[in-house]
Homo-oligomer: A and B are copies of this chain.
């Protein structure tokens, strides 16, 4: 799905990987627009002085910046940073656009590439350049900003679970893990098959930090000038890495049907398409039947299928290829199937073969695609459940992190110093403080003692090693 490029840490997204990104974009873009946001586009370059206007922000991002120092064959008077994120350049425009409370809320989203210079990279999960969307909103009151921050967190959770079939825990980041410049950062955290955590999306309540730095002000309902209250939120091509590492198996990729570019590969088993016309006629008819709008209505997408007419490769080679690339359903159709008036349907995730009368094939495939979407989520939930532990002893904590790994629900004293020590000693970080009781193994409020220092704690947090 991707290759490393000749440029350090930058990836090339190949067509089958990019097709997944296009499906992510199309669906998420619709959800972002349905919640009232509009897309716009801001420059890739940020004057260095802008980045410095918000103290925490520059401290967090400066070490990761790529900087343009000359252009048009001349040294630049002011250096330009290739955007690592766009709060600053966007605020410089918001400050001009916003005058009055009537201009609020301002709800903007951008699809763009960003660059963060990384020491250790990994395809999709951590790359120097990545593609993402970044939402940026302005509000009249702190309450509205908080509502927006949590609303978009819920959109991300909905998308992760119901499109990517990747269960996530929605939670609050600790102060040490929050976005550089935010008041509060919320996140969705997934557990991958190797039991490491993946921060799959973040939603920040920025308070008035950037508004103050850029003078983003409005006249309120009593004609007083006030700073706007802001949010920002983003997900990236990292989600593709999440899909790969949640669902893949030894045979290759497994794609959730809602995000697969091609849903059904129909393979007539024939070395001679001319002689075996009957096989191909059945295959073509099935491909046509799969477009039935009734299925589109039920599944939320139109089933795409392909009749494999390639006469260079063996059926075995083709089956292997469709498994490798994660096509959700494979249909095999040989001379013997035709005699029995049936087709063979194979689901990518289970590998189970079903022999189905030709007349019922389309209906069965549509049902299996829907079922596969549900099953993938359920299976991933089971794995997360299996590797989530309530831990109260630091030695046990360290042992479990090594083997089997997973999410450790443990008490913490709320001191940054203790959090840092734990990270140093175990390489585990606090992934989040879960928001939902359903994501906890113990009551939300539960008196306890910090896993490391025995300090007082009122709730458990989730520790894990992560990407």
Contacts and interface: CB of A to CB of B under 8 A. Distances in A.
Interface string A8-22: 001111110011011
Residue among A39, A40, A102 with most chain B CB within 10 A: A40
Interface string A369-408: 0000000000000000000000000000000000000000
Contacts of A39: 15, 18-19, 22
A71 B117 CA distance: 7
B42 A5 contact: yes
B44 A129 contact: yes
A42 B7 CA distance: 10
Contacts of A292: none
B44 A5 contact: no
Given A7-B80, A38-B15, A129 B43 contact: yes
A43 B12 contact: yes
Tally of this chain's copies: 2
Interface stretch (A62-70, A167-175, A180-188): A62-70
A317 interface: no
A115 interface: yes
B67 A63 contact: no
Nearest to A130: B41
B129 A45 contact: yes
B44 A113 contact: yes
Interface residues on A, range: 35 or more
A6 B92 contact: yes
A47 interface: yes
A111 to B, nearest CB: 10
A89 interface: yes
Nearest to A45: B7
Interface string A28-49: 0000000000111111111100
B108 A43 contact: no
A159 interface: no
A64 B72 contact: yes
Contact of A12 (B19, B40, B72, B117): B40
Nearest to A62: B73
Contacts of A10: 43-45
Contacts of A45: 7, 10, 66, 115, 129
Interface of A: 3, 5-7, 10-15, 18-19, 21-22, 38-47, 50, 62-73, 80, 82, 89, 92-93, 96, 102, 108, 112-113, 115, 117-119, 129, 131, 312
26 contacts: A5-B42, A5-B89, A6-B50, A7-B80, A10-B44, A10-B45, A12-B41, A12-B42, A12-B93, A13-B40, A13-B41, A15-B40, A22-B39, A44-B82, A45-B66, A62-B73, A63-B72, A65-B71, A65-B72, A65-B73, A66-B71, A67-B71, A69-B70, A72-B117, A82-B82, A102-B312
Given A13-B40, A63-B72, 7 more contacts: A3-B96, A7-B46, A7-B89, A13-B41, A14-B40, A62-B73, A66-B72
